Amino acid sequence: MASPQQITNAFQQAMNLSGSPHEVSMSPTQSYMSQYSSLKPAKALKPFSTGDIKILLLENVNTTAINIFKTQGYQVEFYKSSLPEDELIEKIKDVHAIGIRSKTKLSEKILRHAKNLVVVGCFCIGTNQVDLDFAAKSGIAVFNSPFSNSRSVAELVIAEIITLARQLGDRSIEMHTGTWNKVSSKCWEIRGKTLGIVGYGHIGSQLSVLAEAMGMNVIYHDILSIMALGNSKQVTTLDDLLSQADFVSLHVPATSETKNLLSAPQFAAMKDGAYVINASRGTVVDIGALVQAMKAGKIAGAALDVYPNEPAKNGEDLFNDSLNSWASELCSLRNVILSPHIGGSTEEAQSAIGIEVATALTKYINEGNSQGAVNFPEVALRPLDLDQQNTVRVLYVHHNVPGVLKTVNNILSNHNIEKQFTDSQGDIAYLMADIADVDLSDIKTLYEQLEQTPYKIGTRLLY
């Protein structure tokens, strides 16, 4: 039991809200509860029958993640770039976890070779580079970072709005070539203009607050009814937004419904001289139609950070017509800002993403906690205490069919089940249970019996 002084110290620390830019912020209540709960040390669990945990990190995942994994004693293999498919297939065979960003594609073909893989960490917002359905059916949980780079993307969009309104990109290119072209024609202040945000999630809502602080009127459209921040207003349809907005900024995921969300009909519905910003996914804008709308003078400017096909590595002459057929034509247009998918590429965002995703992976590996998984039932149990020495945590992923729980509980029935939680998502179900009064021979028997059940996908025991 914590002493009064310990509780007081924890509360005082929680109320100290100052911190470095690299820290993940919590509310005072969250911080207090987090520190109070940590006063009673949790038991460190180790895996049965999987050996040392091996982690493969690709695409220059931030050092904050590497440090977290190494602190846990995991074996970490790190690469600054993505790997060719054949090399990735070879590397993924033995690892228990893999961390990627947006360039690595984890297809069914690749995942079929991952015999020990239990978890994937996408150190970014998007997860469309992973075959989520096949991963779930293989018992592989996938985590991402839905929060940590929101501010970075929102700030980039604000910068692009101002740059487009003032034609700064063109003036900068002209100055770099020695041309002095001081003009004010069709250059605007953004104060009083209307920003239309498509997708009012983590990024869209932050953008809303920043834009309103700069004097813009903000409207937004989302498939859900979401409470407005500040004086922003939700509009019912996309057409309502397009007809009113001077600037349209897209913040939606890549789905079949959002593919070519903005195409020729939508550009025609926009105000004459409007601007388009896309920092979401490359498939959301029909860029060929955008090029034609700009050539016709309908759209006054555009800022694109994402593209349907993107180079797999950095280098010269990689963004070309062989990659995207309209590339050279797009590059020839005036008042177009093109950036290489850098919306979340700030030191602060990458540090926070490293902490967020690495922590989620560590909790799943060490505790079985799947909260925050994008393709998996979200299940968690409170940590075991240090005095629970003869307790094993059962983590059992199975097909969601009748009779499985009866079979599993029959196997566990000879032991005291201290706590148990199960949930399902589609065809996949996940059970966690803490079983008391067991020894190593009991653990071995439990593992073998669970592995032999007919609807088993994956079994892990932690003790």
Give the residue numbers annotated as catalytic, written as ranges: 281, 310, 341
Say which residues have a Cβ less than 8 Å from residue 127's Cβ, sequence separation at least 6: 142, 144, 374, 375
459: β partners: 396
Q: Are 248 and 275 in contact (CB under 8 A)?
A: yes
Q: Where are the beta strands (DSSP E) in 183-264?
A: 194-198, 217-221, 233-234, 247-250
Q: Are 65 and 99 in contact (CB under 8 A)?
A: yes
Tracing tokens 């499985």 back to the chain, one arrives at 404
456: β partners: 398
Say which residues have a Cβ less than 8 Å from residue 452's Cβ, sequence separation at least 6: none
Phi and psi at residue 113, to the nearest 5°: -90, -5
The DSSP code sequence of 332-393 is TSSSEEE-SS-TT-SHHHHHHHHHHHHHHHHHHHHH---TT-SSS-----PPPBTT-TT-EE
Q: Are 278 and 305 in contact (CB under 8 A)?
A: yes
Strand order in the sheet with 194-198: 233-234, 217-221, 194-198, 247-250, 274-278, 299-304, 336-338
397: β partners: 430, 458
The DSSP code sequence of 87-148 is HHHHHHTS-SEEEE-SS--B-HHHHTT-SS--EEEESSS--TTB-HHHHHHTT-EEE--SST
Token pair listed for 415: 């032991």
Radius of gyration of the chain (CA): 26
Find the largest Cα–Cα distance for the chain.
85
Tracing tokens 């029909």 back to the chain, one arrives at 286
Number of H helices, E strands in the chain: 16, 16
